[in-house]
Structure 1
Amino acid sequence: MQHRPWARGVLTILAGAALALPLAPSPLSAQQAGVDVVIEVTNLRNEDGVVRACMTRDAQRFPRCQDSTQGYRTVVPAGEATTLRFRNVAPGTYAIALLHDENENGKADRVLGMMPREGFGFSNDAPVNMGPPDFEDAAITVGTTSLHQTIRMRYML
């Protein structure tokens, strides 16, 4: 393959431009400050494992929030999970999902592939009917002041 001198120059410019970009896009400008979203967790059945929490604006990624670039995640030891906090949250419409990952395997364990074995909870105490709630049922609006939500953990077994 023959090297072209102009191609090396273009690659150098592109590499320099890529280094100038921020590593993670910030939804807020320096003049705007996000708010805290504080979650009070109730009905946690024990202190085993961790509580995984995600908050997303992406309805297609709710409730797992996997690969969501429009959200926030946190994992805390279950013994410390009575209050969770998402900091510097940009205004918008979000839905929150909690998982009490008692065995810390990073996933929601199920019985016979269907019924959740571990605890779960959603913003607005959204109803669960043969599966997780719709984004719209769990949706909350984050504005310019801190927001508090109480989420009750539910256990099917």
Structure 2
Amino acid sequence: MKSHISKNFTLRGLRVNLLLLAVVGNLVYSFSARAGFNGTLTVEIDGFKNKEGQVCASIFANSQGFPNQRDRVLQRQCTKITDIPVKITFENLPASSYAVAVMHDQNKDLILNRNSLGMPTEGFGFSRNPEVTTKPPKFSEATFLLAGPNTKVNVQLKYL
């Protein structure tokens, strides 16, 4: 009788292990299938103090150059401010982690203008809306995951 019981437990254990492997395998397959796709990112920007000029959004794929080195930007778009909030859409982005830097370019010179103390004189913002005090946020503070066909991030502009 004892050997019959231990065989029963062994078979049940094998069934449970096979079931767990199947579930984990499906999860891994599902994630890897998603990781190979390209998605759309919509950046919704609000908090404008006026509608002058344009707003520019830049996507960074890593910390190098974030948030203000233009030569390190993965994609960038600028658009005239008509309706608020402004929506800027980036298409065909591979699944990955990104951070977005936004500026309200009031004079359309494509530069975040600063005063003599180095403080921005135009509006700015970042994905995940991190606290900004005396320096820009780190990439890790603004990072989000694009892991679906449509991802939306909200950016609230700040003016100093």
Q: Shorter-chain TM-score: which interval?
A: 0.7 to 0.9
- State the secondary structure of the residue aligned to 1:155: coil
Distance in structure 2 (CA, Å) of the matches to 1:87 and 1:154? 26
**One of 124, 143, 157 as aligned partner of 2:147:** 143
Q: Which has the higher helix share?
A: 2
Q: Shift in Å at residue 68 of structure 1?
A: 2.2
Distance in structure 2 (CA, Å) of the matches to 1:95 and 1:73? 12
Paired-residue identity, %: 27
Runs of 4+ in 1 over 6 A off after TM superposition: none
Number of residue pairs matched by the alignment: 124
Residue of structure 2 in register with 1:44 after alignment: 48
1:73 aligns with 2:76: yes
Distance in structure 2 (CA, Å) of the matches to 1:155 and 1:63? 16
Give the aligned CA root-mean-square deviation in angstroms.
1.6
**One of 59, 64, 73 as aligned partner of 2:63:** 59
Q: Structure 2: 5+ residue runs without aligned partners?
A: 1-35
1:40-97 Cα shifts (integer Å, max 9, x gaps): 111111111111110111211111242126x211011122561111111111111100
Q: Structure 1: 5+ residue runs without aligned partners?
A: 1-31
Return the TM-score normalized by structure 1: 0.73
Contact 1:48–1:79, Cα closer than 8 Å, also in 2: no
Larger radius of gyration: 2
Distance in structure 2 (CA, Å) of the matches to 1:112 and 1:135? 26
